[in-house]
Amino acid sequence: MKIDQTRLNNPGRRSLLKGAAAVGISFSVPPSLLAADGKLNFYNWDTYIGEDTISQFESSSGVSVQYDLYADNDELFAKLKGGNPGYDLIVPTNDYIERMLLADMLLPLDHSKISNIGNVGSAFMNPSFDPGRKYSLPYMWGTIGLGYRKSAVEELTSWNDVLASDKYAGRIALMGDAQTNFQMALKAMGKSLNDWSDENIAAAEAMLLAQKANVAAFAADNGQDLLLAGEVDIAMEWNGDILQAMEEDDDIGYLVPTEGGLLWEDALCIPKGAKNIDNAHAMIDHILDAKVGAEIAEFIFYATPNEASREHLADDYLNNPAIFPDQATIEASEVSLFPGQEVTRKLDDAWTRIKAAG
């Protein structure tokens, strides 16, 4: 496996994963699924794969994997929107799958080449963003909430505690993308995170502008590293990233505020322009294997949609509320829908003003 070293922007998080245990797996890829050149170019989120997932696939299939990393969906979309530079497999989030489908950026999947598709839980097989799973298959799901240092934080229950208060001034890290920050501001105001009226956008912009002086960093997928280093006491982040930090430091906790957070799903997709399509299908099939799926889930601390993996997972994973939130949290939270190009432009303009403000 070759890794693009220029994308390794979170070495601290990688270091804390070294002690995780991998599950032994025997897996064989049918030769008929492999393209002649024996290569696969895989573009994925940082620290978002099992310790041995790729090396096992390479060993069993004979396919050489080039594994490159991106920090967020915006980076992924920007990399591919002008034409695929050569990637065969990507892992966008649900609303970006909608966006890519509208832009005609994804290839349909051949389900007949994915023997492990039956391992996916039935609840995940007909999402609104991809009915019938024609273009995607689920990888992981989870929430966006708040990681925090227990010894330094009191009465953290609401998004308003970090978006409309100076109680933790200079000790807060927010995420680095416009849409997520605006959505959490909408939740703080008791609104739907998909309600993109001009009035709501303006109110969220005003809230974020007023709070900027109290924010230590807008973190590009590394809020958990700032939390571990003691540079902040609260970080808006993906739940799995905070769970990884919790394994390193038991003074770190995670919660979804009472207003609810964002429910998300990342999925495996083949982008248009892919050259090694059969190898991409083979890797998807490998990832959906029951034991492989369990190894990935336990290693990266995200919730798996692979129902067959559950028998291979420990109780402390299956019963962890930071991985699998309770029903009240799920009901208070929402799935993000693609807001459309016009709203995206408005959010980008507002975000530019917020970042430029003194």
pLDDT at 311 > cutoff 70 = yes
pLDDT, tens only, 262-304: 999 999 999 999 999 999 999 999 999 999 999 999 999 899 9
**pLDDT above 60 for 19:** no
- What pLDDT is recorded for position 192? 97
Tokens of 71: 């920090």
In contact, 178 and 347? CB cutoff 8 Å: yes
DSSP for 27-87 reads: ----GGGS-TT-EEEEEEETT-S-SSHHHHHHHHH--EEEEEEESSHHHHHHHHHT--SS-
Query: Which whole number is the average pLDDT over 184-208?
Result: 98
Report pTM: 0.82
Model confidence at 11: pLDDT above 70: no
Q: What is the pLDDT of residue 242?
A: 95
**What integer best gives the mean pLDDT of the chain?**
89
Please determine, for residue 10, whether its predicted confidence score (pLDDT) is greater than 70: no
Mapping DSSP to helix (H, G, I), strand (E, B) and coil, where does residue 332 land? helix
At 122-168, the pLDDT tens digits run: 999 999 999 999 999 999 999 999 999 999 999 899 999 999 999 99
Do the Cβ atoms of 204 and 164 come closer than 8 Å? no
List domains and CATH numbers for the chain. 2-141+264-318 (3.40.190.10), 142-263+326-356 (3.40.190.10)
Q: What is the pLDDT of residues 50-97, one digit of tens each?
A: 999 999 999 999 999 999 999 889 899 999 999 999 999 999 999 999
Check residue 26 and give its pLDDT.
38
